[in-house]
């Protein structure tokens, strides 16, 4: 199928490639569509980040210091939110593993 989308090449670590490969197999989708969807999901904050960096590039030093502090605060907040989401996913994963282990023990 022809597309007007731009193409790029990327390099992934073995771990990252394995995860994307497994997800693609589970969803019966191409790896490229998995990665494209992930990039789409992070595009809104990425657009804001680029806008902030562009504005900061020409800002006076005192404004840059203030922006740096704000960005660091946001990063800490996002990290704590992401960490909580990861913990919830780990919890669900362990529950599912427990159910699979119980089924295997019964077999």
**67 within some domain:** yes
- Rounded Cα gap, residues 37 and 91, in angstroms: 25
pLDDT digits (tens, 9 = 90+) for 25-63: 999 999 999 999 989 888 888 888 888 888 878 888 888
The pLDDT value given to residue 101:
62
Question: Model pTM?
Answer: 0.58
Per-residue model confidence (pLDDT) at position 46: 84
* pLDDT at res. 18: 96
pLDDT at 104: 54
Domain assignment present for 1? no
Predicted pLDDT of residue 45: 82
Measured CA to CA, the distance from residue 51 to residue 45 in angstroms comes to 10
* Per-residue pLDDT at 99: 67
E strands, the chain, where? none
Range of the domain at 89: 60-107
Domain count of the fold of the chain: 2
- Rounded CA-CA distance 92/63 in Å is 43
């Amino acid at each position: 199928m022809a597309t007007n989308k731009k193409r790029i090449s990327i390099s992934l670590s073995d771990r990252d490639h394995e995860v994307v490969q497994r997800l693609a197999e589970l969803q019966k989708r191409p790896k490229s569509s998995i990665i494209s969807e992930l990039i789409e999901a992070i595009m809104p904050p990425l657009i804001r980040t680029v806008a902030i960096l562009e504005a900061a590039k020409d800002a006076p030093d005192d404004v840059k210091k203030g922006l740096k502090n704000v960005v660091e605060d946001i990063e800490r907040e996002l990290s704590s939110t992401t960490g909580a989401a990861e913990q919830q996913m780990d919890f669900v994963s362990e529950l599912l593993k427990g159910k699979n282990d119980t089924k295997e023990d019964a077999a």
